[in-house]
Amino acid sequence: MNTRRSFLRTATLGSAAALATPAIVHAQAPIRWRFQTYAGAALGEHVTKPVIDYINTAANGEMEIELFYADQIVPTGELFQALQRGTIDAVHSDDDSMASPTPLQQFGGYFPLATKHALDVPVLFNQYGLADIWRTEYEKVGVAWLSAAGQDPCNFNTKKEITSLADLDGLKLYTFPTAGRFLSQFGVVPVSIPYEDAEVAVQTGELDGMAWSGITEDYTVGWADVTDYFLTNNISGAWIGSFFVNQGQWADLPEHLKAIVMAGIEAGHTYRNQWYWGGEARLRAQGDKLKLRSIPQDEWKVVEDAAKVFWDDIAAEAEINAKIVQVFRDYNEVIGQAGPPYTFG
């Protein structure tokens, strides 16, 4: 009897220990990342937060990402350095506004007249080789590049009515570094300020408007409340932005969590595509805050021709630049031959 009791007691304790084991494993501290996006809170709700929410839910407690919006940890122009140092674990931004120390900087954001639509961006990266270039260049500087996607076009929303190229002369616009470099030849004065300060800067007269986004963002972030006109001509059909992770953090992440992160990013790409595409149409047709204006196409061709010269200048700066510019040329030749809907008109 004593032997039987000892066996039962031992078996019971052993079973309890076995049942407790999964709970002990599950109670291990989750992997925690700090993540900063280029976008302010109103815009970030659509362009970045869905990705973070997806990852946090799918990781089932094994990983938790804390999202910060534009300039909350560091200024956007310091995002890359913070990512290298590990001050921030991951970033959603374009290469241009985060001051990437690679030759890719001027190709992120809005490279003048390089794209027509948001879907051009994943095609360029996945079918024309830009993904391999981006991945390789960022490996050299200790950052893991994960994925790029397109978003909205780069139009102008301004206090002043624009109906000709001459109307651009002297305009103080919040815009991206490379876009500003290109637009300066038409008299635009590029202004660099924190993202969340742009709306007030228009109200105080420090800015005349923005060359930063399409009309969906103008309404979403409040810029349509402080400007009066929207120029339908754009200097680029799609923003090129990416997701980046500190190289060490990415290397240490278990493979199944890497898969969850990538799935969340791809789901976010899909959401942004429809959100922007539908918003651009609906707000042009039904929006009641911004009056639509256009520069005639024969006059706008001056801008398109200037972009070709700009491409040549950028290509001449470095071998890697020439390689990337050639990718844009090759793709634009293909869609030019394909015609609508790949091109306009």
332: in domain: yes
How many domains in the chain?
2
Cis bond upstream, residue 122 (ω within 30): no
Could you read off the pLDDT of 14-26 as tens digits, one per residue?
444 444 444 434 4
- Tell me if 47 is assigned to some domain: yes
Tokens of 20: 């407790």
| 322 and 185, same domain (yes or no) | yes
Q: What is the pLDDT of residue 27?
A: 53
272-322 residue pLDDT tens? 999 999 999 999 999 999 999 999 999 999 999 999 999 999 999 999 999
Q: Which helix (H) or strand (E) holds 65?
A: strand 63-68
**Sign of the CA dihedral 105, 106, 108, 109?**
positive
pLDDT at 28: 82
Q: 52 with 106, same domain?
A: yes
Same domain? 122 vs 39:
yes
Q: For the segment 201-225, what is each residue's pLDDT rounded down to a tens digit?
A: 999 999 999 999 999 999 999 999 9
Please tell me whether residues 119 and 163 are part of one structural domain.
no
DSSP codes, 69-138 = -TTSSS-GGGHHHHHHHTSSSEEEE-TTTTT-SSTTGGGSB--TT--SSTTHHHHHHHTSSHHHHHHHHH
**Residue 225 carries which DSSP code?**
G
| CB contact at 8 A, 207 and 201 | yes
- State how far Cα 275 lies from the chain centre: 14
**Do residues 83 and 91 lie in contact, with contact meaning Cβ atoms separated by under 8 Å?**
yes
CA–CA separation, 293 and 52 (whole Å): 37
User: In which element (H, E) is residue 180 found?
Assistant: helix 177-183
Task: Let me know if residue 15 belongs to a domain.
Answer: no
Is 345 a member of any domain?
no
CATH number for the domain harbouring residue 313: 3.40.190.170
Quick one: 207 and 170 in the same domain?
yes
The C-alpha atoms of residue 321 and residue 32 are separated, in whole angstroms, by 36
Contact 141, 95 (CB under 8 A): no
144 in the same domain as 65 = yes
C-alpha 136 chain-centroid distance:
19
Nearest residue to 116 (alpha-carbon basis) of 237, 219, 1: 237
Residue 327 lies in a domain: yes
230 and 253 inside one domain: no
Successive 10-residue mean pLDDT values, the chain, 345 residues: 43 44 59 97 98 98 98 96 96 96 96 96 98 97 97 98 98 97 98 94 98 98 98 97 98 98 98 97 98 97 97 97 98 95 79
Distances (CA, A) of 153 to 109, 173, 214, 289, 334: 10, 16, 5, 19, 20
Residue 13: inside a domain: no
Q: Quick check: helix, strand or coil at residue 288?
A: coil
pLDDT (0 to 100) of residue 10? 44
- What secondary structure letter does DSSP report for 184? G
Range of the domain at 303: 155-237+287-338
Residue 21 lies in a domain: no
Tell me: do 94 and 132 sit in the same domain.
yes
Which residue among 250, 267, 284 closes a domain?
A: 284
Measured distance CA(279)–CA(153) in Å, rounded: 12
| Confidence (pLDDT) at 22 | 46
**Are residues 165 and 221 located together in one domain of the fold?**
yes
Asked if residue 217 and residue 229 are part of one domain, the reply reads yes
Contact at 8 Å (CB) between 239 and 152? yes
Are residues 134 and 57 part of one domain? yes
User: Do 124 and 246 fall within a single domain?
Assistant: yes
Please give the Cα distance from 278 to 32 (Å, whole number).
35
- Residue 25 resides in a domain: no
CA distance 28 to 19: 16
Residue 187 corresponds to which amino acid? G
pLDDT, residue 32, reads 98
